[in-house]
Every structure is written in structure tokens, then in C-alpha cells.
Structure 1
Amino acid sequence: AQYYGVVSVGTPPQKFTVVFDTGSSNFWVPSAYCISEACRVHQKFKSFLSDSYEHGGEAFSLQYGTGQLLGIAGKDTLQISNISIKGQDFGESVFEPGTTFALAHFDGVLGLGYPSLAVGNALPVFDSIMNQQLVMEPVFSFYLKRGDDTENGGELILGGIDHSRYKGSIHWVPVTEKSYWQIHLNNIKIQGRVALCSHGCEAIVDSGTSLITGPSSQIRRLQEYIGASRSHTGEFLVDCRRLSSLPHISFTIGHHEYKLTAEQYVIKSIEDQTFCMSGFQSLDITTRSGPLWILGDVFMSEFYCIFDRGNDRVGFAKAV
């Protein structure tokens, strides 16, 4: 996940950089009592300095791709921009596995998924916001910019929609399973022809995932279609000179097609030399409703995304 912002926990406020993650529902920050390497290089929460801290006492563990994150549950005041949330459930992590968190540019994660996805009965942040009536409307919206502007990477609006960030109309689609922000994909077209997910499939809109992921059998075919080949490090690369001749890929959601051109689904990385990485990755996730696709930041940076908890639906419009 490469999009984050700053929030504060406690009284007086202690600042943390967090990922706003629609693919999970817990909020956690590193604890002052954390001993792993990952915590050494990040901001740590000192509960003993906060007047508003309430000790929860239960231990919790969160499963991530790289291993288990262990921590202690508590409650405290959470400040996000100009709103102040009292008694927010959160976790203080005391152990963060692997190098993933050590190398991360963020301290913690703020989940924006549904309550059913939250571990340890914690009430998610946006549920607290709704319960404490801190926003006008029970919606939040993401605008993610592409490119290297690290200072201003985009915007998250809690409680509304920023009409200056999109053009055309918003198209809505119902949430099919209230845990992730899960929706139905009718199909995926390559150069206008149905090529994948041909009988429909389920997808989640996930700000905490960088790429677009899908079942390995389908992604293997997709990489072939776009002429991507696996590098020695396992990424799929395409020839940067061929971008203009690569097919466009469209996701049919509801009655609308959301089209990505090669310029949009290929990630240009400029290290020693420019190389072009496919924005698609295989990840096999099975749910009751079948295999899941993940529409991560590669998708979300082209479309303004509105998450509506009041009506359990997601809205998409072309981002400006």
C-alpha cells in the first residue's frame, strides 16, 4: 500500500502515519512495548502518556500475508483531520513479523471495511464516526493520484464526496457481501472482447492493495494477452516501447465498463533504467462466492471511488 496519511491518538495527541485500508477493518499502531525490528524504525504509541487511554486487556492477532501481527486492545481518542472520535477501539502491536512492516513507510493501518471483518470485536473507525454522528452522510470517498507527487498523493473525504475530483456521472453498484467492500464483476474484456471472468465473478475494492489481483489461472492468461513475461525477481514485465500497441482492459461492473489503457495498467519504474511492470498479479483467495479479484490502487487511481455505508453500495466515476 503506498497511500497514507497522518492521524493522532491520545491526549495530548501522538501522531502516526497510517494506511487507510478498505480491505481490513481494524485500526492499529505500534506499541511502546513492541520489541520487533519493525517497531524500532516507526512511531510508537505510549499509552502511559495519554490521559484518555483505556486499557482493553485482550490480546489480538491479525493475519497478514507476511505473518501474524500481535498486540493488545485498547481505546483512546482518535483525531483524523478535524474530527475527533472518542473511545475508538484500536490495537497496539507488540510484535510485527517479517521485513514487510520494517520496510514500510507507514506506522500502522486504519481499516475501513465492515465490522464483520474486524478482529476481536473492535468497532471500526468509520462505525464510530457514524455512531458519534461526526459526519453528515455515512459515505467516504477516495481520490488517488498516480505518479511521483509524494507530498500530495490524493485525498480521502470522510462523510462526503469531492465533486471536483471526478467528471461525468457516478455509477453505483451494490455490495454483495458486507465484510470487504465486495462487488460483482460481470466480466473482464480485453480489447473489447470478453476474455476473463466470463460468467461473472466477485471483486473487492481495496485501497490497501497496490495492484489488481486475480486467480492465478486467469492472471496467467491475462499476462500472456499483454505480452508480459516473468522476470528473475518474479514480477511480470512488458517492453516499455510497446505500450501504445498493448490492448485496453475493461472491467464490466453493473451496466458500465471501466477501461484501463496500457499506460494506466503498466507501472513504470525508474531505477537504474526504466522498466515497465504489469499492474496485474496473481493471488488466490477463495470465498463462499468463489474466487476474488482485487481492484487495488492501479484501478482506484483511474476512478474516483465512493464507499456508501448508508446504502451498502460503491460508486465509481472517472477521476480527474
Structure 2
Amino acid sequence: MTENLELTPTTALNWMDAHATQQTPHVDFTLRRGTLTDNGATPWYATLGLGTPPQPLRFMLDTGTLNTWITASCCASDACQVHQSFSPEHSTSYRACAEPPSSVPFGPWGAMCVVLGEDICHLERTCSGETQLCALDEAMRIYLSVSYDGAQFAGLACDGGLGIPAVPCDTPSALLEQLRKQGLIDHAIAAFRFDPERGEGRCLMGAVEPERFDPDTLELLPVIPLSGELNYLWTVRLDQLQIGGETLGGALPLALDTGSSYIKGGRGIIARMLSAITDRGRRPLRVNDPSAFADYPELSLQLGDTNYRLAPKDYFMSLNGGWEVGVQYLEGLPDELLVAGSLFLDRLYSVFVFDPNPAGQRMVALAQPRRAALSASGVWRNEFGSTLEIGTIAADGTFRGQYRSDTGASGVYPVVGVADPEPAGDSISCAFSVSWRSLEGDPDPSWHWVSGFVGTIQLRDGVEIFSTSYLLQRDITPEMPEWMATAIYPSTFRRSND
């Protein structure tokens, strides 16, 4: 029985397979990547419903906090104006708690003045292959922010945060723990994958995706709780930290924080890191041209048996028209504590294991991800709003589909084409033909025309682009001579998620 399996490096892969998405109930969060700012917070967020009827709000899924909070409609601060806010007065299931308003500190960020309330979360739960929108049986306790003290809050990509702490919570405020307690998931695990190029990712609570990571790279790390008020962090042992071959420390605590963007830390360790990165101040912390990365050293973090290497292009962050070193001091942290956010986690498949075995040992599993490959299949939309639907690519590269247009000729048209079924590079060459004989509607002159499209699919700034040139061939008549009957045009499609 996997439920009683002691989780060790030897048994980890079997345990992961037993908790695959198709075998166990889970809650699914689609992650989107918002704008990265210099406030140190993650740009990733998920949208879920809060209240009755559900109000769609953007939450960061945060392993770096105990708090679950949301911007409230009564918030009077300027920072609230850039966020969607929760309106408790429009929720029939909202209940205010008796506690008086209080201030929640966020370190160098400032603080938020909050009131405590309870309401229902609405989530997408999958069980036995069926996905349904479901409401939690028990209301979640949430801080409603009524004011922000600190300009950094205005730069958040989200409207609030869902805490995923590494310690049990007395009140129903930690979603992962609540899902397990209410029987909506069998096991309290949260699996994250990110695709920064596409600007999308996924978090599963209750299950993992073994097909999304390389099992040979799986590293299982026990959580070593910090003493004191930071005991909620998912802290593992950093066996060795090197920059440019220089060892800066060993046996350091490293907190893995999905709510952060930078690598942050206490004054001592960050001072040594910045000194090594800048060659004792000889190199700047900000550059205006990425070609300057060649002058900077590699970062190496050894966790267990694995060295995780970050090239300069990985730890410089694109901000404010240039590139800045994503390593910073965070006030209030112990001198030798490091916190790794999306700068590190974006490149990994990570699983936060809250209670894997009877001993209750928290674990973090890290592995190299298997990214979703480029594919021609799916729905594409061009600059005129016309859609191209490409079906499954057969083993010989052929496919069928449909082209839908409301501009010029309006209708639904059959498509046949070819594309590489197993692309190995960073682009896909694709060609298809369209017969303008619509499958719907009344005949028109265009029913006798044909087109041939040829182009390339590439990922550009996180968006899949299908750039084509197409040849339109009309009938040749005395009124339409050959030179007029043949025309070549450009057309650019973008993948549609509708």
C-alpha cells in the first residue's frame, strides 16, 4: 500500500507513480505569468473563485508564508486600485470573524491592515478522469486587506496569496491541508511546473505528473524546519554554494519559496554572493546588453547528490529596460539563510510533500522538467480573427482540419496538410491547403478557389507563432486574367487557448 510507504530516495519514484494524475483525485490550478517587477515577488498566479457566487480572483500559490489573504473592496490604499478585489458584501456565504482589525507585517515590504473573514473557495477537482467545479465543504479563513502600507504591493501580479506552509495550521487557512482534511485529495502534496517561455504552468494539489519530469534526475530532500517564527518555510539543506568555482558556504539552510522571484538571503551570505558575482565590485549589478553576461560567473547549488547550475542568463532578470542580478538581501532573515524563488524553481519540476508517511516528515522532490514540445495540432487564430483547427498529426506527418473565416469568404472550409510529427528543433515547418468550398452556408464564387499555406511555427516571447505565406488561386476568366487570379499574401497565426 503506497499510503503507508516510507518515502525514501529508493521508494520515491514508485510513490510518485502511485500519485500520478490519472490514478488519484487532485485539484488543478492553471498558472499564468504576470509582469515581473523588482519587488521580489513571484510573477506567477492562479485564478480561483472565492465566495458565493464565486468571484474570480488571482492568487499566488505561496510556499513562503503562513498567510492566506486577498485585496478587499473596502481597501482605501492606492495599491489596491491596480488589483481586482473581493467584495464580501456580494457573497452570500461570507462570514466576518469577531477579531478586531490588525496589522500583518511583511518585512521590508511594509504591512497590511486586515480584517479576518471566512468564505468558500471554488476549485476544479478531478477524480476518476472527470473534472468538476466544486466548493470546499468548510469555509477558509482569509485575511481581507483593507489597506496597504508599502508601495511594493502595487507591483504584485496577483490580488492575494494562498499560503502553503510546511507546518500544520490550527485554523482552516492553509488550502493544501484543508483539501486533505475534507477528503477532496488523498494526500497533501503540491506539484509545480513552470514554462517561462510560454508564460504558463500548472500546480496540482493531491497528485503529480510523472510524464512531466525526468525520473533519473529526481532528488528527494527532507525538510529541516528552522527554529522560531520561520519554522513554516520549506527549508532544505544546501550542501555547497559555489560561484565561479569559489565555495561560499556549505550546510546552509535554503528555503524554497514559490511566492518569491529572486534569490534572497541574510546579510552575510548575500554580501559574499554579490561580492563573488561582481568580482569584488569590479562588475556592475545591472547591464544594458545581454552580451555582458559572458563576463559573469556561474552559480552552483549542490542539493543532495545534484549540482543545480545557473548561468548568468539564468540569474540576471529582465527589469526596467535592462538586466539586473536577481540576488538581494532581505531584511529580517538570519545571516546565513537563503530563499530561492522562481529564478531557481522555474527551471525545475518541484513537489512539496506535506505528510508522506506515518512519521510526518516533510519532503521536497526536485527533478529536471520535460517541457511540452512544440506542436502544430490545436487551434490557431490570425490577425483577422479567422481560426485554423489542426487535428492530430499522424505518424507520416499528415493531418486534417478546418479553417473558419468571417472576413471575405465566410464559412467553414476543409484543410489537409503536413507537419513534422516529432519535431526535434526550435521550429516546425508546416504546409496545408484549403479548399474554399464551405462546409456550411450557400454557394458563392469562392467555392471554386483554393489556397496553399506554408510556414514555420516558433516560440517567440512565450507565444507560439505560426508565420505563413499563402498562395490564393482563383478561376481564370476573361474578367480575371492569370496574373490577377494568382496572389501571394502573408498571414500570421497565434495559438488560441479558447
What's the TM-score, normalizing by structure 1? 0.86
Shift of 1:203: 1.3
Task: Give the C-alpha shift of residue 94 in structure 1.
Answer: 1.0
Shift of the 183–95 alpha-carbon distance from structure 1 to 2, 3 Å rule, reads same
What is the distance in 2 between the residues matched to 1:142 and 1:114?
Answer: 15
Task: State the distance in 2 between where 1:209 and 1:44 align.
Answer: 22
How far off is 1:121 after superposition?
A: 4.7
Shift of 1:213: 1.6
Structure 2: how far apart are the matches of 1:38 and 1:122? Answer: 27
CA distance in 2, matches of 1:221, 1:40: 39
The range that moved more, 204-213 or 258-267, is: 258-267
What is residue 305 of structure 1 aligned with on the other side?
350
Q: Take 2:221 and 2:306, find their aligned partners in 1: how far apart are those partners?
A: 10
2:337 is the alignment partner of 1:292 = yes
SS at match of 2:187: coil
Matched, 1:202 2:253: yes
65-74 or 39-48, larger mean C-alpha shift: 39-48
Structure 2 residue aligned with 1:180: 233
- Tell me the distance in 1 between the aligned counterparts of 2:280 and 2:212: 35
Structure 1 stretch displaced more, 41-50 or 129-138? 41-50
User: In the TM superposition, what are the counterparts of 1:1-320 in structure 2 within 5 Å?
Assistant: 1-58=42-99, 59-64=101-106, 65-82=108-125, 83-85=134-136, 86-115=138-167, 121=171, 123-147=173-197, 149-150=198-199, 152=200, 154-167=201-214, 168-177=216-225, 178-191=231-244, 193=245, 195-198=247-250, 200-227=251-278, 236-238=285-287, 240-244=290-294, 246-269=296-319, 271=321, 275-287=322-334, 291-311=336-356, 312-320=362-370
CA distance in 2, matches of 1:106, 1:166: 27
Q: Which AA in structure 2 matches 1:123?
A: S
Q: Residues 30 and 269 of structure 1: is their aligned pair in 2 closer, same or farther, counting only changes over 3 Å?
A: closer
Rounded to whole Å, the distance in 1 between the matches of 2:219 and 2:323 is 31
Q: Tell me whether 247-256 or 179-188 shows the greater mean CA deviation.
A: 247-256
Amino acid across the alignment from 1:79: H
Q: Describe the shift of the 1:109–1:217 C-alpha distance in structure 2 as closer, same or farther (beyond 3 A).
A: same
Are the structure 2 counterparts of residues 159 and 31 from structure 1 closer, same or farther at C-alpha, using a change threshold of 3 Å? same
Structure label with greater radius of gyration: 2
SS of residue in 2 equivalent to 1:23: coil
Aligned pairs, number: 305
Give distance in 1, aligned partners of 2:280 and 2:46: 35
Q: 8 Å contact 1:6–1:80 — kept in the other structure?
A: no
| Cα drift, residue 284 of structure 1 | 4.7
Q: Is the 8 A contact 2:118 2:140 kept in 1?
A: yes
Tell me the equivalent position of 2:474: none
CA distance in 1, matches of 2:333, 2:152: 24
Letter in 1 for 2:162: L
Supply the AA of the counterpart residue of 1:74: G
SS across alignment from 1:57: coil
Q: Kindly, what percent of the aligned residue pairs are identical? A: 24
Q: Mean alpha-carbon deviation: is it higher for 44-53 or for 174-183?
A: 44-53
One-letter code of the match for 1:227? Answer: T
In structure 2, C-alpha distance between the alignment counterparts of 1:295 and 1:213, rounded to whole Å: 7
RCO higher in structure (CA 8 A, sep ≥6): 1
> Does structure 2 retain, via aligned residues, the 8 Å contact 1:60–1:91?
no
Q: What code does the residue aligned with 1:172 have?
A: L
Deviates more, 1:16-25 or 1:31-40: 31-40
Q: Any conservation in 2 of the 1:140–1:157 contact (CA below 8 Å)?
A: yes
In structure 1, C-alpha distance between the alignment counterparts of 2:312 and 2:76, rounded to whole Å: 44
How far the C-alpha of 1:316 sits from its partner, in A, is: 0.6
Q: Give the letter for the 2:285 counterpart.
A: F
Q: Is the 8 A contact 1:214 1:294 kept in 2?
A: yes
| Residue type at the aligned position of 1:37 | D
Q: 2:411 aligns to what?
A: none
Supply the RMSD in Å over aligned alpha carbons: 2.5
Are the counterparts in 2 of residues 7 and 17 from structure 1 also a CA contact under 8 Å?
yes
Deviation of 1:172 after TM superposition, in Å, equals 0.7
Deviates more, 1:83-92 or 1:120-129: 120-129
The alignment partner of 1:81 has SS state of strand
Amino acid at match of 1:224: S
**Deviation of residue 270 (structure 1)?**
7.3
Partner amino acid, structure 1, of 2:175: V
3-state DSSP of counterpart to 2:218: strand
